[in-house]
Amino acid sequence: MKLAVIPGDGIGVEVTTEALKVLRKLVPDLETTEYDLGAKRYNATGELLPEAELAEIRQHDAILLGAIGDPRIVAPGVLERGLLLNMRFQLDHHVNLRPSRLYPGSTSPLAANPDIDFVVVREGTEGPYTGNGGAIRVGTPHEIATEVSINTWFGAERVVRYAFELAQTRRKHLTLIHKTNVLSNAGAIWTRAIETVGAEFPEVETAYCHIDAATIYMVSDPSRFDVIVTDNLFGDIITDLAGAVTGGIGLSASGNIDASGTNPSMFEPVHGSAPDIAGKGIADPTAAISSVALLLRHLGRDEDAARVERAVEADLAARGDAPIVTAEVGDRITAAV
């Protein structure tokens, strides 16, 4: 297995170290190439994602990423857009897969709820993320800024199709989350994609929620969700909430997937570089380790993926309220896989 590793910034570096311990144990022939992309590199050289480096990254089977962005030393947006989104867009990571499960022993505020188990299929290449917009008359009282949300039939159809296929393998229930009562132009594309693709999946029941109401249900009745499909921005927001209700953002894994298989997919925790706890060795590496499980499953190593999931599950069940020590969690889970 040839893996490109981008530890990135802040706790990204700390949690990636632990994720690699687990992966090395399961994949003895693992070949890693590390890329020092991120805040320090940018400040030293001005480079974000050089073309030659991306070409090299493309030659790998998959990418493992920690987190990108350090608002303490680089202005917000520079690295996020120039490196992370740039990579997701250039590698056509149109499916941003973000599963959430409430594990036994979890410290979730909803811990009494026995069966929270859903997957958010977040569109990854469109919406307001594309950088389509601009600002004029900056600094004057007449300043205007636009961030145009791009929604294409092509983009919605393919991610909705992925979500139906996934729902077909699970509890056969798919919820579209949007804001069709206000964003009705984009909403029409998404709704029609559900209707059109849904005709091919008669066994999958569909539901619809506005994003605002969805935040209520995610807290009050999360077990209603099986597969959720949504646009890039709503998906970003709802998956941080999903993390919070299933034991904390330190547990949420993700895969940025090119479902066509043309480009390597990229696996990373949902969380960011957490400057508030970086360097202290107290970040939870579980999200990064669970991202390794998604990576293994993506590469067809289902049994290895299941071993990681079982080890994570056992660790969470045994953990209690003990404070997190990043390296110790990594060592424990590595020993258990």
Shortest distance, position 249 Cβ to ligand IPM, whole Å = 10
SS3 label, residue 319: helix
Distance CA 284, CA 241 (A): 17
Residue 226 annotated in ligand binding: no
Report if residue 69 touches ligand NAD, rule: CB under 6 A: yes
Work out the angle between the directed axes of helices 232-245 and 211-220 (0-180°, nearest 10). 10
Q: Which helix (H) or strand (E) holds 133?
A: strand 133-136
Shortest distance, position 67 Cβ to ligand NAD, whole Å = 4
What pairs with residue 177 in β-bridges? 209, 230
List the one residue out of 260, 208, 269 whose CA is nearest residue 234. 208
Is 221 noted as a catalytic residue in this protein?
A: no
> One of 92, 129, 226, 258 is an active-site residue; which one?
129
Task: Output the residue with the shortest Cβ distance to ligand IPM.
Answer: 80
Is 236 noted as a catalytic residue in this protein?
A: yes
Q: Looking at 236, 258, 284, 315, which residue binds Mn ion (CB under 5 A)?
A: 236
Is 40 noted as a catalytic residue in this protein?
A: no
SS3 label, residue 202: coil
Is 212 noted as a catalytic residue in this protein?
A: yes
Report if residue 272 touches ligand NAD, rule: CB under 6 A: yes
The partner in contact with residue 222, picked from ligand NAD, Mn ion, ligand IPM, none with C-beta cut-offs of 5 to 8 angstroms by kind, is: none
Report if residue 276 touches ligand NAD, rule: CB under 6 A: yes
Q: Are 287 and 271 in contact (CB under 8 A)?
A: yes
Q: Looking at 106, 273, 291, 334, which residue binds ligand NAD (CB under 6 A)?
A: 273
Binders in 74-133 for ligand IPM, by CB under 6 A: 80, 84-85
What pairs with residue 134 in β-bridges? 146
Residue 115 annotated in ligand binding: no
List the one residue out of 134, 165, 162 whose CA is nearest residue 147. 134
Where b means 16+ CB within 10 Å and e means fewer, 197-228 reads bbeebeebebebbbbeebbeebeeebeebbbb
What pairs with residue 33 in β-bridges? 4
Contact positions toward Mn ion, by CB under 5 A?
A: 236
> Contact residues for ligand NAD (CB under 6 A)?
11, 15, 67-71, 80, 84, 249-250, 268, 271-277, 283-284, 287
Provide the annotated binding site for NAD(+). Answer: 272-284
Give the residue ranges of the annotated binding site: 88, 98, 122, 212, 236, 240, 272-284
